[in-house]
Amino acid sequence: MSVSVFQTKEVQDLLKAASNLDAGNGNARFQQIVHRLLGDLFKAIDDLDITPDEVWAGVNYLNKLGQDGEAALLAAGLGLEKYLDIRMDAEDKAVGLDGGTPRTIEGPLYVAGAPVRDSVSRIDVNPDPDAGPLIIHGTVTGVDGKPVADAIVECWHANSKGFYSHFDPTGAQTEFNLRGAVKTGADGRYEFRTLMPVGYGCPPHGATQQLLNVLGRHGNRPAHVHFFVTSDNARKLTTQFNIEGDPLIWDDFAYATREELIPHVVEKTGGTALGLKADTYKDIEFNFTLTPLVQGKDNQIVQRLRASAAA
């Protein structure tokens, strides 16, 4: 039977007590957020007549999500991470900041600590017979078009199975395989010599895929390469590009695709002379345009728990 109790004094008092709102101790910001989120949940239970069975299924799902270590993966799959990008885009627009390379989500698979090389880094350490050679290169500039020296370009991507080193369930990759960092010189140029990635799929028996299955959604991403680009006098850029032609480009379970982030893939020869594993290789030019600090501050630095390792 559908009842409506949310607006009663008893429930409103319960919400205030549970979040310890206006108590004078505890963290006021945290109390405000918990009060609101808990209230939104209580209201949804009322409005949608969510049953006790459904509530307990949800509570136990949270346990499974934590056991699987997939909360950040689910955040990407439910569009929460994309939503934060939409908000940062709107903030940039509101202060008239444009002309930079578009941001897109970081995702949960970055590992801090990759060795930094000057201008060029070869990052395919482990053999991967199913992946062909790929060179990714370009220039880091400011919105004025001038090259940025001493920028750090970090890159990470999956292997031919869609697995990332450090998170690879097969154990086939050593630390920092397909992960690297390059420092630009005066010309602003960077280059990664690597292998062509394949799109990621959520762990098939994990909590994220379990939820997506009930929604009737898949948990796959098109092939893509992640970047952080940092420099002393510009805002940190978090972005990715997709590999042109991947059938999932406009069907990414994490909603990271953007029109400006699909560079052309060009086939070239001469790889042997460059030390690549085949003479014919794929080449992607991708240039980064960094945006200036906002009132002297980098408002694009996002604090979140990240894996790290020693190189």
Residues that bind ligand MBD (CB under 6 A): 73, 76, 105, 107-109, 200, 221, 254, 256
Question: Cβ closer to Fe ion: 109 or 234?
Answer: 109
Q: Please, what is the minimum distance in Å from the beta carbon of residue 225 to Fe ion?
A: 8
Angle among Cα 138, 125, 222 to the nearest 5 degrees reads 60
Task: Answer for the pair 135, 281: CB distance below 8 angstroms, yes or no.
Answer: yes
CA–CA gap between residue 34 and residue 28 (Å, rounded):
10
Q: How far is the CB of 75 from Fe ion (least distance, A)?
A: 14
Binding track, positions 79-118, relative to Fe ion; x by CB under 5 A: ----------------------------x-----------
CA dihedral (75, 81, 82, 83) positive or negative: positive
For residues 252 and 234, give the distance between their C-alpha atoms in angstroms, rounded to a whole number.
29
Coil, helix or strand for 223?
coil
CB of 107 to ligand MBD, least distance (A): 3
Count of residues in the chain = 311
- Residue 230 or 239: the one with the smaller Cβ distance to ligand MBD is 239
In the bound state with Fe ion, the residue whose beta carbon lies nearer, of 141 and 257, is 257
219 binds Fe ion (CB under 5 A): no
Nearest 5°: the CA angle 164, 167, 170 is 85
Which residue of the chain is nearest ligand MBD when measured via CB?
107
Closer residue to ligand MBD in complex, CB, 158/234:
158
Task: Tell me which residue has its CB nearest to Fe ion.
Answer: 107
How near is the Cβ of 56 to ligand MBD at its closest, in Å? 28
Residue with smaller CB distance to Fe ion, 77 or 107: 107
Rounded-to-integer distance, Cα 263 and Cα 184, Å: 21
Alpha-carbon torsion, ordered 231, 310, 133, 241, to 10 deg? -40
Block residue for tokens 């604090």: 303
The option from ligand MBD, Fe ion, none interacting with 229 (CB < 5 to 8 A, set by class) reads none
CB atoms within 10 A of CB 7: 9
Q: How far is the CB of 238 from ligand MBD (least distance, A)?
A: 11
> Minimum distance between the CB of residue 197 and Fe ion, rounded to whole angstroms?
8
By the criterion CB under 5 A, which residues form the site for Fe ion? Answer: 107
